[in-house]
Structure 1
Amino acid sequence: MPENRLPGVMAPWPLFLPSLLLFVAVLVVPLGLTGVLSFNAFDGMRGIQTTYTWANYLEIFSDGYYHEIFLRTGGLALGVTVLCVLLGVPETLILARMRAPWRGMFLIVILGPLLISVVVRSLGWSILLGNSGPVNTVLQALGIVDEPIRFLFSTLGVVIAMTHVFLPFMVIAVWSALQKLDPQVEHAGRSLGASRWTSFLRVVFPQLLPGVLSGSIIVFALAASAFATPSIIGGRRVKVVATVTYDEFLNSLNWPLGASIAVLLLVANIVIILGCNRLVERRFKQVFS
């Protein structure tokens, strides 16, 4: 028996083996099969072929249509992430400074939408953002606009709806980091002569940065792969990678091409998230060191 193991204590690997097997079964195996499918040849008359080829990836990289789709998806995800940071961080700070029972009530209001299906929330936004919906009605009644703004089937409408859908994830991430923050640290900074804004930037925000980064990664990944909200709010006018993949699988029945698009989306997500995470962490280390 090894000296560093107590008598009667199991080795650690049997404890995490069930979760590891579940992870492999529900994630690794489907992704692996999708990756293999992406290399299958496809014929419009005979369907999926048993031969393997790079033609699906070459078609995506050489066609400007797919370039536009990926750029639009990345821009939408980035815009939603920035809006969630700008809205979620102040919202969480205000929420943390509330007293009971208001804090609990507003926390339920913010996180309550997570209990509702994203399809239902997107359908609700389609009603709110319609030409005759409440948003345009209020804007016209206040004299802000003379005619209805076209929110539906536009990038603006998709960004608004997706920001509402993913904002609770940012609030949860920042809230978790905020719970570890000692309020006395901010007071100590103020007592040493720092202004409220300087104290926030130099003392509070660096400690919230892990939560902001975690929330940004979650929001960006979810927004980049979102399907329900872009398809309901954007319709056929605002195509994103997820809706194009859906069309290839169920409309064109070109499963290998759809699998190739899905694999590239996954790879792009991983590269962008890891790159931005390292860049931001390095930049803030230089600023706050």
Structure 2
Amino acid sequence: MSRGYLLSLPALALFTGLLILPLVMTLVLSFNVFDYQVGVKADEWTLAHYLSLFSDSYFYEIFWRTFWISALVTLLCVVIGVPEAYILSRMGTPWRSIFLILILTPLLISVVVRAFGWSLLLGADGLVNQVIQALGGRPVKLLYTPFAVIIALVHVMLPFMIIPVWTSLQKLDPSAEQAALSLGASQATVMRKIVLPQVMPGVLSGTLIVFGLAASSFAIPGLLGGRRLKMVATVVYDQYLSELNWPMGATIAVVLLLVNLLIMLSWNRLVESRYKKSLGV
């Protein structure tokens, strides 16, 4: 057993140095005093940043916007990604490999590049408004709206939903569906009794990944949301680089992490309990 611990020491050291230590330093920074004249006072401590965060309705609005947009993005990814993963799992060669590559290819492109692509499509003189005007309509404001942020986030996060669901479906034997159909079960019953229980672990993994990434996303809200449509990550950026108030930025980041963890753990427990109940465990 001691040999196993020794072999795991390099991984533990890497994990501590790259994740635990930065989080601890951020937590410590959130309690430091900040003065606009002298900057961060590392030897003085305060709870003023947390009190300011929890007493200002501006921050409540930012957090509410961040989480409802993230929840909607997650829901849309489930609605689009689960059927797509099911269709992908039923494809034969070589189409399955071709479409899997098409799904994964966007991950090779920078999020910033994709955000600029959406800005070109949704801008006042973008392709979408050009089509609307060609059909006789008036230009619609799409850029710097929640719609622009949501559609771009769905585009970016969709592979993170499809892949876990598709992986779960690989464990499902197609003959089980065929046997149920041959015994008189309807397609809806097959989906509910056979396919859905197999898909739920993948859906759970996908929703956790998509929600966490969407809630902490910076590039898409920053480029497509503009200065008025703030989300938590863009506010943290402003506090660090515009206001130079690092402790306040660290405070917002810590609260975002804790709330995000609370939501994700609660969702994980809810889905797992219902999944086990459906299996009779």
TM-score bracket for the superposition, by shorter chain length: over 0.9
Instruction: Tell me which moved more, 239-248 or 188-197.
Output: 188-197
Matched, 1:129 2:110: no
1:129-169 Cα shifts (integer Å, max 9, x gaps): 112222233344456xx222222100011000000001011
Equivalent residue for 2:271?
A: 280
What is the aligned residue count? Answer: 279
Q: Deviations over 1:33-52 (max 9, x none)?
A: 00000001111212112211
Aligned residue for 1:250?
Answer: 241
Q: Which residue is equivalent to 1:169? A: 160
Alignment of 1:51-90 (within 5 A): 51-90=44-83
Q: Deviations over 1:40-83 (max 9, x none)?
A: 11112121122111110000000000000000000111011001
Q: Does the 8 Å CA contact 1:48/1:255 hold for their aligned counterparts? A: yes
1:260 matches 2:260: no
- Find the counterpart in structure 2 of residue 178 from structure 1: 169
Where do 5+ consecutive residues of structure 2 fail to align? Answer: none
2:18 is the counterpart of 1:29 = no
Letter in 1 for 2:74: T
The alpha-carbon distance between structure 1 residues 182 and 140, as it changes in their structure 2 partners (threshold 3 A), is farther
Cα deviation for residue 209 of structure 1 reads 0.4
1:154/1:237 contact within 8 Å kept: no
Q: In structure 2, how many angstroms separate the alpha carbons of the residues matched to 1:153 and 1:226?
A: 15
The match for 1:195 is 186
Contact 2:132/2:138 (<8 A) preserved: no
Contact kept in structure 2, 1:73 and 1:240, CA below 8 Å: yes
**1:241 Cα deviation from its structure 2 partner:** 0.4
- Kindly indicate whether the alpha-carbon contact (under 8 Å) linking 1:248 and 1:254 is maintained by their aligned counterparts in 2: yes
- In structure 2, give the amino acid aligned to 1:115: L
**Map of 1:224-239 to 2, 5 A cutoff?**
224-239=215-230
Residue 89 of structure 2 contacts residue 96 of structure 2 at CA under 8 Å; is this kept in 1? yes
Indicate the percent of aligned positions where both proteins have the same amino acid: 56
What's the counterpart of residue 204 of structure 1? 195
Letter in 1 for 2:22: P
Paired AA for residue 195 in structure 2: V
Unaligned runs of at least 5 residues, structure 1: none
Report the Cα distance in structure 1 between the residues aligned to 2:133 and 2:272, rounded to whole angstroms.
45
8 Å CA contact retained: 1:202, 1:288: no
Structure 1 range deviating more: 53-62 or 179-188: 179-188
Q: 1:150-169, aligned counterparts within 5 Å?
A: 150-169=141-160
Q: Given that residues 33 and 44 in structure 2 are in contact (C-alpha distance below 8 angstroms), is that contact kept between their aligned partners in structure 1?
A: yes
The CA distance in 1 between the partners of 2:168 and 2:7, in whole Å, is 29
CA distance, structure 1, for counterparts of residue 135 and residue 185 of structure 2? 42
Which residue of structure 2 lines up, in the alignment, with residue 20 of structure 1?
12
Output the CA distance in 2 between the equivalents of 1:59 and 1:43.
15
Q: TM-score, normalised by structure 1?
A: 0.93
1:41 is matched with 33
Q: Contact (CA 8 Å) 1:246, 1:258: kept in 2 or not?
A: yes
List per-residue Cα deviations over 1:72-111 (Å, max 9, x = no partner): 0001110110011100001111112222222222211111
The alignment's C-alpha RMSD in Å is 1.5
Offset of residue 178 of structure 1: 1.2
SS in 2 for 1:12: helix
- Alignment partners' CA distance in 2, 1:120 and 1:14: 43
User: Does the Cα contact within 8 Å between 2:73 and 2:214 map onto a contact in 1?
Assistant: yes
Q: 1:141 to 1:284 in 2, by over 3 A?
A: farther
**TM-score, scaled to structure 2:** 0.95
Q: Which moved more, 1:60-69 or 1:192-201?
A: 192-201
In the TM superposition, residue 288 of structure 1 has moved relative to its aligned partner by 5.0
Q: What amino acid is the match of 1:150?
A: K
